[in-house]
Amino acid sequence: MTVTELVSYEDALASYDPVMGLEVHVELGTKTKMFCGCSTELGAEANSQTCPTCLGLPGSLPVVNAIGVESAIKIGLALHCEIAEWCRFARKNYFYPDMPKNFQTSQYDEPIAFNGYLDVQLEDGEVFRVEIERAHMEEDTGKSTHVGGATGRIHGAQHSLLDYNRAGIPLIEIVTKPIEGAGERAPEVAKAYVAELRELIKALGVSEARMEMGQMRCDVNLSLMPKGSETFGTRSETKNVNSLRSVERAARFEIQRHAAVLSSGGTVVQETRHFHEEDGSTTAGRIKDNAEDYRYFPEPDLVPVAPAREWVEELRKGLPELPRVRRNRLREDWGVSQHDMQSILNAGAVDLIVATIEAGADSAAARKWWMGELARRANEAGTELAELAITPAQVARVCALVAEGALNDKLARQVIEGVLAGEGEPDAVVEKRGLAVVSDDSALGAAVDEAIAANAAIADKIRAGKVAAAGALVGAVMKATRGQADAARVRELILERLGVEG
């Protein structure tokens, strides 16, 4: 392979306009596979969830999973697509060891949903419309594990293991029309599109769409045309990019690489490429097959899918509020900036904050705890906010205890620590750890007197009118009470004792 010197991003964009096409595969969360009754549960022993149909044994017959079709229609509707009145499955023929039938049951020229769009919001709030070409139903392949080599890749391996548990799990493939006009923001658009699609899929409840688990993956097609030209260039297709950040980086890298090839007088090869997380680069995969090479033909063993219009309309009525619309509504309710809302979204905190508010917390407090202390702890533990061992109801209870003055922030952090450590509900932690704020004057009085006696010079200053110096005495009392004193009351008591007005 010849390593091409990349052109800088700015130079690339000065001479060329990028065109992108994004193909996203989503694994549906159905209980059973797309064409048989085998379980889709993850983590089972290899090949324990297979049957003659998903192993492609002679004489076996597939049957379509109705929930799979329903999910496809929901996705199509949420993407403003037309839903086919009648469509078929097709066989996409190719040989690959992890595909036991030697063809993938997919859809070709008759997808269930087509001609839609998804509006995506960029970081600065601008909305960019991505047009959808189609969303079609297909099935996943099995999984190969290459053993004995250094890299886990097939090259250098001694043997390969095949697990067909994943073979036949329903997939929806969503393909955009060529995305033009994004210019230098093309990588940002790609990332925002995948992020928005992921939110949408989750809101529809058809998949958890966890990219890190391969439940959602994106192929990034990219080409450049010289500025002013309207003819698309040759595209590369970077396969199976599996994080939002990687989608953005892959697009950016390909823009720079294509520009380098083109500006040195070379031609871009139509090929698939692999993305490398370590340095954000891509390397050549295989030369791209043409559709003819797959010898597509209609699947003879499955009846056509002809969803009744009443059913489609019923599904349309049941669609949830679109994530972008909901986000904008929440952003206004909460009075936060576009940027802050983006951080909340990126942290996966939107639903947690909503649930905390529903459990009675004030919105500012709910945001503060999830985006502050809890985000810090999730970060430390290397997990997602949603994985933390604390529920929105428990966070709401902590907020309530702070609001009624029973806890200050410092104590509240200890309560959260206790809940996360499995010590029980917030009230139980308060009780066990003895964490209540002390605001009772008789309990505080002694500590206040001691602080005054131990800091006579400061006390004199306050008596002489330098009220600001009271902070030092409040600090001393807080220290003596291990942070449990009600700081506002302590300050009042100090000023009272010293005979000055607050």
| CA–CA distance, 266 with 285 (Å, rounded to integer) | 19
| CA–CA distance, 39 with 43 (Å, rounded to integer) | 11
Considering CB distances under 5 to 8 angstroms, the limit depending on partner class, which of ligand ADP, Zn ion, Mg ion, none binds residue 51? Zn ion
3-state secondary structure of 455: coil
CB 11 within 8 A of CB 5: no
Considering CB distances under 5 to 8 angstroms, the limit depending on partner class, which of Mg ion, ligand ADP, Zn ion, none binds residue 226? none
Could you tell me the smallest distance in angstroms from the CB atom of residue 104 to ligand ADP? Answer: 12
Nearer to Mg ion, 23 or 423 (CB): 23
| CA–CA distance, 137 with 151 (Å, rounded to integer) | 33
Could you tell me the smallest distance in angstroms from the CB atom of residue 428 to ligand ADP? Answer: 54
Residue 53 φ/ψ region, left for φ over 0, alpha for ψ in the -120 to 50 degree band, beta for the rest: alpha
Residue among 171, 166, 160, 159 at smallest CA distance from 142? 166
Could you tell me the smallest distance in angstroms from the CB atom of residue 79 to Mg ion? Answer: 18
Could you tell me the smallest distance in angstroms from the CB atom of residue 21 to Mg ion? Answer: 8
198 Cβ contact partners less than 8 Å away, ≥ 6 residues apart = 209, 211, 216, 244
Nearer to ligand ADP, 218 or 396 (CB): 218
| CA–CA distance, 101 with 98 (Å, rounded to integer) | 9
Considering CB distances under 5 to 8 angstroms, the limit depending on partner class, which of ligand ADP, Zn ion, Mg ion, none binds residue 215? none
Q: What mask of x and - would describe binding to Mg ion in positions 13 to 32, judged by CB under 5 A?
A: ----------x---------
Give residues in contact with ligand ADP (CB under 6 A). 19-23, 133, 175-178, 221-223, 232-233, 235, 237
Nearer to Mg ion, 50 or 221 (CB): 221
| CA–CA distance, 22 with 1 (Å, rounded to integer) | 26
Could you tell me the smallest distance in angstroms from the CB atom of residue 23 to ligand ADP? Answer: 5
Q: Sort strands 170-176 and 127-139 into parallel, antiparallel or unpaired.
A: antiparallel
Considering CB distances under 5 to 8 angstroms, the limit depending on partner class, which of ligand ADP, Mg ion, Zn ion, none binds residue 235? ligand ADP
Nearer to ligand ADP, 187 or 392 (CB): 187
Number of residues that bind Mg ion (CB under 5 A): 1
Give residues in contact with Zn ion (CB under 5 A). 36, 38, 51, 53-54
| CA–CA distance, 60 with 150 (Å, rounded to integer) | 39
Nearer to Zn ion, 51 or 225 (CB): 51
Could you tell me the smallest distance in angstroms from the CB atom of residue 59 to ligand ADP? Answer: 31
CB 205 within 8 A of CB 266: no
209 token code pair:
């769409």
Nearer to ligand ADP, 176 or 394 (CB): 176
3-state secondary structure of 360: coil
Could you tell me the smallest distance in angstroms from the CB atom of residue 38 to Zn ion? Answer: 3
Considering CB distances under 5 to 8 angstroms, the limit depending on partner class, which of Zn ion, Mg ion, ligand ADP, none binds residue 169? none
> Strand (E) positions, 152-235?
159-163, 170-176, 216-226
Nearer to Zn ion, 49 or 71 (CB): 49
Considering CB distances under 5 to 8 angstroms, the limit depending on partner class, which of ligand ADP, Mg ion, Zn ion, none binds residue 36? Zn ion
Which spans of this chain sit near Mg ion (rule: CB under 5 A)? 23
